[in-house]
Every structure is written in structure tokens, then in C-alpha cells.
Amino acid sequence: MVIRERFTDKVAIVTGAGGDIGREIARRFAREGAVAVIADINLKAARETKKLIDEEGGRAQVVQVNLLKSEEIRNLVQAVIRENGRIDILVNNAGIGERTTLLETREEMWDLIMAVDPGSVFRCTKYAAPEMIKRGGGKIINIASMMGMIGMGSPSYSAAKGAIIAMTPIVAAELGPHKINVNTVCPGFILTKLNRSMLETRIGDQVIEKIPMRRIGRTEDVAALVTFLASDDADYINGAIIPLDGGMGRFLDLGEDYRTYDPFREMKEN
């Protein structure tokens, strides 16, 4: 059953909505009354997302798009306008990455990650924002990463997500007068098909030990924050960079001995 609440009759584009995180975001919008536009280069995965939304009684539109190509993004925007007459929300979720050291990183892969991650945020925002301006406002939510905020992960992925973070306040300042809010969510470790096998090993236990909330994030956690930022309740939040990592990015765990050590013990005893 669709819960028609915050997004009744609104139109939300979610890039990369064939993947786990994008799929959950699209489903959450559809459950709350929005038309979820599933924008993905992987047509099979996009159709699987639409099938789930259809089964839940929601509304969805599939548009296959290569986010490296401005012409295809313009076509995406035009297809959404033809079908629905409006664009209210854009979630720049699509992204790629690799786990390599600086010396192992191939230049062509560096260029591709930069073109897809911050590049698609730039291109999608550039072509969707004018339609929002015509309608008097909208919401844009970018998905970056905790790894763009702290020294963690591969240089290429961290740099790409860091670029999205750096772009956010500038774009928010430019579009704010048009009543368009631009914010960025920075997930930490989120359980997806891509990392499930790793997180179910001892590595996952080690990761959890570094997270104050003592659990891995869920795709539902990301969808909940994204839909809040897209709602009227977030109308005065603009240019924000919001971690979604269970506190991991602001907590340096030096071990149990350090956490329990009392440097004033001798003083107290005397």
C-alpha cells in the first residue's frame, strides 16, 4: 500500500536507482506518493526496481541514461517533463569507485571515476535545475561518502566524493534564491550486495568495532535521510554536508585500554 504523505504527485529523479541504495531511495519516494524516475545505465536493474515499486502500488518511470553524456541527461530531463510535466526532486546517487593505492591507480580509471561521480552531479544538476526554477523550487540531494570527508579508502574514490562535498555549498548558494535546496549525504559503511561478502567476514567485525552505534548502516537509513531532506520539513536546510555513518567519521578508536585508562587514578588514590 502506498502511504500518500509527503510527496503526493511530486516527481523524484534518482540516478543509479538500479543499485541497492538508489533502489531503496526510489522505493521510499514511491511509497510516499511520488513518481520515482529510475535513471540508470543498467536497464535490466532499472526494470527490476520498477517491478518492485509496481508491486507495492507505487508509480515509477524508467529512463536508461549514460551519465557521462550531457545529451543523454538532457534527454532524461525532457522525457520526465513529457511524461510528468515537472521535476521536484533530484537525487544524485550514481557513482563508481575502486579500491587501489595511489601507485596502483590507472590514470584512465581516475578520469572515469571523476567523470561519473562529481561529473554526473554537475551535469544532472545543470540540466534539471532550470526545470525546478520554472516551477518555483525543488530539492537536490547528492550522495557522497564518509570517505570524502576523512582520510580513508582509495585516493580516487575519496577525491571524487570530496569534490561533491566541495561543490555543494557553492551550488546551494547559487540555487538558494530560486528556492532550491542542495544538500549532500555522506554514508559510511552501508550493507549492499557489493560489500556484503566482505562485511560478513572478520573485516566486518573490525569495522563494527570502529562504529559507535556498533552496527553497519542499512539502505533504509540512507533512504530515510534523503526523503527527509526532500520534504517540506527540510525547507531551511541548505548547503549541508550530513554524515550518515553511525558516528564513525568523528570517532578515533585507540582501543579499549585507552578508553578505560584514567590518568588521574594515582591522584585520586592519594
Q: For position 48, which CATH number holds?
A: 3.40.50.720
Active site residue: 157, 236, 258, 261, which one?
157
Residue 158 lies in a domain: yes
**Mean of pLDDT values over 37-56:** 97
Q: Which domain holds residue 177?
A: 11-269
The cell numbers describing 65, all together, are: 541514461
Is 127 an annotated catalytic residue? no
5 is a domain residue: no
pLDDT bucket at 268, cuts 50 / 70 / 90: low
CA distance linking residue 239 with residue 237, whole number of Å: 7
Please report which helix (H) or strand (E) contains residue 259, including its range: helix 256-260
| Vertex 22 angle, CA 85 and 230, to 5° | 55
pLDDT, tens only, 128-164: 999 999 999 999 999 999 999 998 888 999 999 999 9
179 found inside a domain: yes
Is the pLDDT assigned to residue 15 strictly greater than 70? yes
What integer pLDDT is reported at residue 169 of this predicted model?
98
pLDDT value, residue 270? 57
Pairing of strands 241-244, 180-187: parallel
- The verdict on residue 6 lying in a domain is no
> pLDDT band for position 232 (50/70/90)?
very high
**Residue at 4 is within a domain:** no
In a domain, 81, yes or no: yes
pLDDT recorded at residue 33: 94
Residue 183 phi, psi (nearest 5): -135, 160
Say if 209 falls within a structural domain: yes
Number of structural domains in the chain: 1
Higher pLDDT among residues 268 and 263, named by residue: 263
3 belongs to a structural domain: no
